[in-house]
Amino acid sequence: MVRRVTIELPEPLASEAEASGVLRSDVIERLIRDEIRRCRVDRLFGAADRLGALPGPSLTESEIQAEIEAVRNERRSGHAPRS
């Protein structure tokens, strides 16, 4: 399925983007995918910062690895939403 998206840009920006090839569908798709990935990383680091600020003992490296494996297994089984 493909969705058509319309954006409004100031003329100077649209002209420059068009001249540099940035308005091609494949380029815009890559830019959006990169931005989504960056947002996910930002959320991950934000969560890590909040987790690190919680009182109590820190997890050991083996506990962290076990948690990572549990999440991966849950995702593989299709029972966890992907963000």
Write down the pLDDT at residue 52: 84
Write down the pLDDT at residue 78: 77
Instruction: Tell me the pLDDT tens digit for each residue of 13-44.
Output: 999 999 999 999 999 999 999 999 999 999 99
- For residues 65 and 69, give the distance between their C-alpha atoms in angstroms, rounded to a whole number: 6
- Cut 0.85: pTM above it: no
Task: Give the DSSP letter string of the chain.
Answer: ----------HHHHHHHHHTTTTSHHHHHHHHHHHHHHHHHHHHHHHHHHHHHSSSPPPPHHHHHHHHHHHHHHHHHT-S---
Average pLDDT score, the chain = 91
Distance of CA 35 to the CA centre of its chain: 7
